[in-house]
Amino acid sequence: MSTPTASLGTIHMIEAVTDRTARLDCLVRHLALALGGRPAARFAERLGLPVSNDTLLRTVRRYDRPPPTPPSVIGIDDWAWRRNHRYGTIICDLERRKTIALLPDREPSTAKAWLVEQPQIEIVARDRSGGYAQAAAQALPHAEQVADRWHLMENASHAFLDAVRKSMRQVRVAIGTATINPELLTAAERLQYQGYLRREEANAVICDLVKEGVSIKEIVRRTGHSRNLVRSVVRGQRTDIFRVRQTSLEPHLPWLEAQWDAGLRNGTELWRQLRLAGFGGGLRVVTEWATRRRRAEKAEGLATRPPHVSSFVL
């Protein structure tokens, strides 16, 4: 009985299928590396290459990555598996700008176990939390620990804004913007202004009691305010400032001023023309601006009008 042998055409067909499978496998791998699991699966289906997200991930895992170069400068921080529920630790090679490790949690012991295996590390950039500082100090006592750039800028900006916020009252007095004309406020801004006046009155009462030598505990009992509020007023940390709310009209104010000076004073018509120019706000925003503009002109007219002098016939 003769042994069946494959024909020449069958051999060519097998070689073609093998070739095509290798090319498709390479394509699938690059799709998975670029897009991940589900996004790559959806894109592959649109290309006419139906493949599951699990197959894509298996293709990535099948190829061995070259071992990374041992890092000497790293950054370590936490990251969220699920925000407010579960966190891990991310470690980056700051010289090559690559992520080199993802740890399952942010416990100091886990970070320490990873750092112990990297004795060549010379610099550790981290945030101000004590957990990573403790892990780095125990695992790499010779390494230098530095605050990372993001937290330096964040802390500096917080300190700057806090200093400016505490001095805003003096700044406003110096530049002459501390005086507010309630007649120029809209209804919503007038309500905010009334709340501001009530807070200012409460601050003044507390400051007067402090000048009389009354203790914080007694001020709390007399005024009914919380201890934290009284303490913040005593320390000068509660300096309320009335701020007129910002509106969506800010980018369009030059155009509005030009139309107003040209004689177009109807708020509804101004709003219609703004809509044609791409403005997405409502009619009320424009009509409130027009009302405030009329009040300001009226107040300026009253201020510049000469006083009336009565003439008497002697």
Most trustworthy range by pLDDT among 96-100, 292-296, 299-303: 96-100
Cβ neighbours of residue 57 under 8 Å, at least 6 residues apart? 32, 37
pLDDT tens-digit profile of 229-264?
888 888 776 766 555 555 677 778 888 888 888 888
Bridge partners of 126, per DSSP, are 147
Report the C-alpha gap between 98 and 117 in whole angstroms: 18
Query: What average pLDDT does range 310-314 have in this prediction?
Result: 35
Residue type, 287: T
Bridge partners of 99, per DSSP, are 92
- State both tokens at 12: 């060519």
For the range 223-232, what are the long-range contacts, defined as Cβ-Cβ under 8 Å and sequence gap of 24 or more? 230/206
Report the C-alpha gap between 118 and 115 in whole angstroms: 5
CB distance 189 to 288 below 8 Å: no
CB-based burial label for 217 (10 Å; 0-12, 13-18, 19+): exposed
pLDDT at 123 > cutoff 90: yes
How far apart are the two ends of the chain, measured CA to CA in Å? 152
Query: What average pLDDT does range 6-11 have in this prediction?
Result: 47
The pLDDT of residue 301 is: 63
CB-based burial label for 87 (10 Å; 0-12, 13-18, 19+): middle
Q: What is the mean pLDDT of the chain?
A: 79
Report the C-alpha gap between 266 and 260 in whole angstroms: 9
Structure letter (DSSP) for residue 36: -
Residue type, 111: A
pLDDT tens-digit profile of 26-84?
888 888 888 888 888 888 888 888 888 888 888 877 776 677 789 999 999 998 888 87
Residue type, 295: R
Phi, psi of 141 (to 5 degrees): -65, -20
State the pTM of this model.
0.41
The pLDDT of residue 122 is: 94
Query: What average pLDDT does range 93-100 have in this prediction?
Result: 90
pLDDT tens-digit profile of 102-122?
999 989 999 999 999 999 999
Report the C-alpha gap between 266 and 272 in whole angstroms: 10
pLDDT at 192 > cutoff 90: no
Report the C-alpha gap between 169 and 105 in whole angstroms: 46
